[in-house]
């Protein structure tokens, strides 16, 4: 059997007071997701481990079956998505343009990443790319918009802290070596602090900020540096899991994952979240019909709307996304030679507390296919799916579950060839 994995990022939530202590999934009218839940085997996934709040890139890495191989960091994956391969020994950091303010002698984030025109972002990136590192060789890559990466090579260390406080109420911290690390980490922290200070001077006098000032917009005056990453050294998805896959999404994280793991990549995007997901599902069907046997679809619309502190708005977004999942019921689920899995890579609370972005609860899952052990679940939500036949599984086990339900798993004690693989060799 072939496999279609559809991840709807941030679909899961916590019980919200504005919704009568129910979750948005419980409140929303979701005829397609509920029909799929009724037709399949349900359960829950802990994207990482219970209570750990997942960053999207790390959660995708786990769910795609690479958790035991070590996460290289999001910045190196995004660099690959921008066409820049990280060199052996190079450490890459994500760099975000930010708007900040000083209060009481401490600097705080007002907006990050900053909003600006693409042409303006390119001009700033060009200026910052002239940086000459003191201790290392360096290169700056523009990922698009306010996002960049800085690569340091020649003995740099990834054992340093971030300068992104994540939560706006916290001051921007100094970059320091992590405890227990030596001279390489100290030199790396000093270099990043030097780059940050130099960049602030460049931004202060940059023509883009003069233009923004004339338009009544705040200056982009600081950089946030985070996510130290290294070159991924992992087998291709076809070697690790026995599937020839396609990844359907948009942006440098998606294209970088495809490049890193050996997926075919198809970019499908739209300003309308429901239309985008619908078209991504159709693209998955086309790729499967063209001979590929694994399609990975990812949507982030529910995650984005969760950050506004408006649970009822999230309910409406979930209902719009559910309409697009008619494409799954029509084009994927009826196929007897296809296993379709729908889940998420993290919980995104919509209550607007400002204390959390992604939280560490498990997320609901449904698997639809001829081998699914049907249960009594009739609603796709956080509580109902707990009663499903799959139970609770860690994200890193999801690919093994998919192999089993697709009748492609190797007998556990079998030794077919020189390398131990979780899948049966193809005929």
Residue 260 class from Cβ within 10 Å (0-12 exposed, 13-18 middle, 19+ buried)?
buried
> To the nearest whole number, what is the mean pLDDT of the chain?
95
Whether domain 2-70+234-405 has CATH 3.40.720.10: the reply is: yes
pLDDT digits (tens, 9 = 90+) for 136-148: 999 999 999 999 9
In angstroms, how far is the first alpha carbon of the chain from the final one? Answer: 13
Token pair belonging to 208? 């883009």
pLDDT > 90? residue 421: no
Average pLDDT over residues 362-371: 98
Pairing of strands 294-299, 264-267: unpaired
pLDDT at 352: 81
pLDDT of residue 5: 98
The predicted-structure confidence for 403-415, as pLDDT tens digits, reads as follows: 999 999 998 777 7
Residues of the chain with CATH 3.40.720.10: 2-70+234-405
Per-residue pLDDT tens over the stretch 202-229: 999 999 999 999 999 999 999 999 999 9
pLDDT single digits (tens) 321-352: 999 999 999 999 999 999 999 999 999 999 98
- Residue in 241, 350, 245, 335 with CA at minimum distance from that of residue 298: 245
Residue 276: pLDDT above 80? yes
Beta carbons of 350 and 57 less than 8 angstroms apart: no
**Mean pLDDT of all residues in 100-122:** 94
pLDDT confidence band for 306 (50 / 70 / 90): very high
* Model pLDDT, residue 394: 96
Instruction: Give tens-digit pLDDT for 385-400.
Output: 999 999 999 999 999 9
For every residue of 369-396, DSSP letters joined together read STT----S--S-STTGGGGSSSEEEEGG
């Amino acid at each position: 059997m072939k496999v279609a994995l559809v991840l709807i990022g941030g679909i899961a939530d916590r019980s919200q007071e504005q919704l009568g202590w129910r979750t948005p999934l419980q409140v929303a009218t979701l005829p397609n997701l509920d029909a799929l839940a009724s037709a399949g085997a349900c359960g829950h996934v802990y994207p990482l481990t219970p209570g750990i709040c997942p960053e999207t890139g790390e959660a995708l890495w786990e769910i795609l079956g690479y958790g035991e191989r070590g996460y290289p960091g999001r910045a190196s994956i995004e660099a690959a998505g921008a066409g820049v391969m990280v060199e052996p020994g190079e450490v890459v950091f994500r760099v975000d343009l930010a708007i900040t303010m000083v209060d009481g002698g401490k600097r705080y984030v007002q907006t990050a990443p900053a909003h600006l025109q693409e042409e303006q972002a390119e001009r700033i990136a060009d200026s910052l790319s002239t940086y000459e590192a003191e201790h290392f060789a360096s290169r700056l890559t523009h990922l698009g918009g306010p996002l960049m990466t800085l690569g340091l090579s020649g003995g740099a260390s990834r054992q340093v802290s971030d300068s992104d406080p994540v939560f706006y109420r916290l001051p921007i911290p100094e970059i320091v070596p992590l405890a227990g690390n030596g001279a390489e980490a100290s030199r790396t922290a000093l270099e990043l602090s030097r780059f940050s200070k130099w960049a602030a001077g460049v931004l202060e006098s940059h023509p883009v900020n003069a233009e923004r000032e004339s338009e009544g917009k705040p200056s982009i005056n600081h950089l946030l540096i985070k996510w130290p990453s290294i070159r991924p050294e992992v087998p291709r998805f076809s070697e690790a899991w026995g599937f020839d896959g396609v990844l359907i999404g948009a942006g440098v994280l998606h294209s970088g994952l495809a490049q890193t793991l050996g997926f075919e990549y198809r970019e499908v995007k739209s300003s309308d979240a429901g239309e985008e997901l619908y078209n991504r599902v159709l693209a998955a069907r086309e790729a499967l019909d063209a001979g590929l046997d694994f399609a990975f679809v990812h949507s982030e619309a529910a995650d984005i709307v969760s950050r506004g502190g408006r649970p009822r708005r999230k309910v409406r977004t979930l209902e719009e996304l559910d309409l697009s999942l008619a494409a799954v019921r029509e084009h994927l689920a009826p196929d007897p030679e296809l296993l379709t899995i729908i889940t998420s890579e993290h919980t995104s609370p919509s209550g607007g507390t400002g204390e959390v972005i992604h939280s560490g609860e498990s997320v609901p899952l449904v698997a639809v296919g001829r081998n699914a052990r049907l249960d009594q679940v009739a609603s796709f939500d956080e509580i109902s799916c707990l009663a499903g036949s799959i139970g609770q599984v860690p994200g890193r086990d999801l690919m093994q579950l998919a192999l089993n339900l697709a009748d492609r798993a190797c007998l556990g004690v079998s030794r077919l060839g020189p390398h131990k693989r979780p899948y049966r060799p193809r005929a």
